[in-house]
Amino acid sequence: MLKARETVQSLPTYHPPLGGREGLRLDFNENTVGCSPRVAEKLREISRDALARYPERGAVEATVAEFLGRNVDEVLLTNGVDEGIHLLCETYLEPGDEVLIVVPTFAMYEIYARATGAKVISIPAGEDFVFPTDAVLSAISPRTRLIAIANPNNPTGTAVSRADLLTIAEAAPHAALLVDEAYFEFHDKTMVGDIAQVPNLFIARTFSKAYGLAGLRIGILAGEAGQMTMVRRVSSPYNVNAAALACLPEALADSEYVSQYVRESVTNRRRLEEFFAAEGIPFWPSRANFVLARFDELRVPFVKGMRERGILVRDRNSDYGCAGCVRVTAGTESQMDLLFEAMKDVLRDLRQGQVR
């Protein structure tokens, strides 16, 4: 009888709530108004012949490299950040190697690492989810081959300083340091300028959040040119589809569209934090496009009540250290007005015992 590898059988499963996502989507940190109109127009222009050909990513990688201020041999387009994580695991991990992650964080770091037979060492974040730099440094060993850090982190929204990340990279020259900048646009701090001087540093970016291209599945993995040569060996030459390659230059060119959305999202992130403070709901200040808040015993009926009002928020109760927590994406001003009205109604009913 055919059986999957023991490593695969023991993997944790990632179950994002993808079914029935109708309504105002404030659960996945997506762009809440959609992609640039220039991207939509480009999609309409894609010909039948273009879709019949295998995609060629080289020219678009050159465009992206210029956008990042890097050389083209330092940049690889990927099928979202997920593939970038997967490629690093396949390039650098052997069974028995060690991978360091700080929890809570993005689930796919652990899943892709453990799939190789590597041992994942989870380091708890500090009080209020502060990044535990000293604990990470203490956990580095000769077996450490990958350190994965989301900056800003998901689901907490907390950030790590460049100085601390450089210290970690220097302390583990034998390990790949992945800095996942999926929420870079809302944080506006990056380490992409350090990759030439720090040969074990890799930066991941996505176009699923600020750019509104989650459905096209396209991201970036950047690193020192020599290391990227090795990563490319395990990458498919056709990993990014033709529609995504056609649309990405348009998305990059329409910088004002993205900038305007980011400005509005950041402003409304602050409004969301102010709302939670006024309602007496504990939350963690965020550097991303969402806020994590603790609802404790109100969590389940709160999520249910919001869905009944046509607004989706994300239950993060199962994440390490996030018992009773819900994550809410910050959208546009009008969307936040709807959110605040609905949250006031739900919280009032819950506090009066009218919702179970």
Could you tell me the pLDDT band of residue 18, with boundaries at 50, 70 and 90? low
Could you tell me the pLDDT band of residue 96, with boundaries at 50, 70 and 90? very high
Cα(112)–Cα(16) distance, rounded to whole angstroms? 16
Q: What is the mean pLDDT of residues 5-17?
A: 86
Give tens-digit pLDDT for 49-60.
Answer: 999 999 999 999
What backbone torsions phi and psi does residue 85 show, to the nearest 5 degrees?
-60, -45
Instruction: Tell whether the model's pLDDT for residue 220 goes beyond 80.
Output: yes
Model-wide pTM > 0.85? yes
Instruction: Tell whether the model's pLDDT for residue 19 goes beyond 80.
Output: no
pLDDT of residue 192: 98
For domain 16-30+256-349, give the fold: Aspartate Aminotransferase, domain 1 (3.90.1150)
Based on its alpha-carbon atoms, the radius of gyration of the chain, rounded to whole angstroms, reads 21
Give tens-digit pLDDT for 168-178.
Answer: 999 999 999 99
Could you tell me the pLDDT band of residue 203, with boundaries at 50, 70 and 90? very high
The sign of the torsion formed by the CA atoms of 250, 252, 253, 255 equals positive
Instruction: Tell whether the model's pLDDT for residue 69 goes beyond 60.
Output: yes
| CATH numeric code, 37-253 | 3.40.640.10
Instruction: Tell whether the model's pLDDT for residue 185 goes beyond 70.
Output: yes
Instruction: Tell whether the model's pLDDT for residue 355 goes beyond 60.
Output: no
Averaged confidence pLDDT in the chain: 96
Residue 53: CB atoms within 10 A of its CB come to 9
Cα(337)–Cα(99) distance, rounded to whole angstroms? 42
The pLDDT > 70 percentage for the chain reads: 98
Instruction: Tell whether the model's pLDDT for residue 98 goes beyond 60.
Output: yes
Q: Where are the beta strands (DSSP E) in the chain?
A: 24-25, 75-78, 98-103, 119-124, 144-150, 176-180, 201-206, 219-223, 283-284, 290-294, 311-312, 314-315, 325-329
Domain residue extents for the chain:
16-30+256-349, 37-253
Instruction: Tell whether the model's pLDDT for residue 140 goes beyond 80.
Output: yes
Could you tell me the pLDDT band of residue 20, with boundaries at 50, 70 and 90? confident
Give tens-digit pLDDT for 296-329.
Answer: 999 999 999 999 999 999 999 999 999 999 999 9
